[in-house]
Amino acid sequence: MSISKNTVHLLLGYLEDCFLLRTVWIEADSERRRMVNPRKAYPVDPGLIPLFDRPWGTDDRDSCGIIPNTMPLGPRVVVDTNVVVAGLRSRRGTAFRLLSEIGGSRFEIALSVPLVLEYEDALLRCSTVTRLRRSDVDAVLDYLCSVGHLQQIFYLWRPFLADPKDDFVLELAVAARCRSIITYNVRDFVGAERFGVGILEPGPFLAGLGVLK
């Protein structure tokens, strides 16, 4: 029986979600370099599955997850480039508050190689406003890659959105099974709801998580 490469990766994703398979990224000095290298897949002993399903509470962190001091993450989302730039330009807005929550347990960000490259390009172009040096931008991107879900994309939906430059963001959200895309350009993603992906600005998103009132 012959199946496509996309089907193989889809099945591998299901096995990972069921804790029957674990993929490991290649070791590298930069988190971004790991994203463009193939991953190794290792089987997981099914007897370990119950350890991932232990009850947990917000005040009992030591009993969470298979490793002490780890916690299940909230919804997975894609953070659009305009939110990242806005959050690094000013500490006063909801964009900065959202960036401050990245790496915590309230939500998880999804990343792809094209999105990280767009982050990099935008931050370097806005360096006079953000006052970030190249080393600062590298540090920010490496941190985001270290805590985010690094998603490979094998199926393209383009053209779908009005602006073709936004299609790869939607494709990432669909491939990573994200709940929402967080952006200030809500109108640019009209139609994304057909894929089950919500479009929210940072304020309403954080309010829904209980971070903002």
Which of the four pLDDT bands, split at 50, 70 and 90, describes residue 83?
Answer: very high
pLDDT at 50: 54
Which of the four pLDDT bands, split at 50, 70 and 90, describes residue 5?
Answer: low
- Rounded distance, CA 180 to CA 165, Å? 18
Instruction: Write down the mean pLDDT value for the chain.
Output: 79
Q: How far is CA 209 from CA 65, 105, 106, 125, 206, in A?
A: 21, 11, 7, 32, 5
Percent of the chain with pLDDT over 90: 40
pLDDT at 193: 87
Distance of CA 22 to the CA centre of its chain: 18
Percent of the chain with pLDDT over 70: 69
pLDDT at 105: 84
pLDDT at 97: 95
CA angle 110, 51, 211 (to 5 degrees): 40
Q: Nearest-CA neighbor of 28 among 154, 171, 150?
A: 150
pLDDT at 122: 94
Q: Is residue 121 within 8 Å of 82, Cβ to Cβ?
A: no
Take residue 205 and report the two structure tokens written for it.
């998103």
pLDDT tens-place string over residues 170-199? 999 998 989 999 999 999 898 888 888 999
The answer, yes or no, to whether residue 142 has pLDDT greater than 80, is: yes
pLDDT at 7: 73
Rg (the chain; Cα; Å): 18
pLDDT at 202: 95
The answer, yes or no, to whether residue 167 has pLDDT greater than 50, is: yes
Q: How far is CA 163 from CA 61, 73, 148, 167, 191, in A?
A: 43, 31, 25, 7, 12
Q: 14 vs 6, which has greater pLDDT? A: 14
CB atoms within 10 A of CB 141: 20
* CA pseudo-torsion sign 28, 41, 151, 87: negative
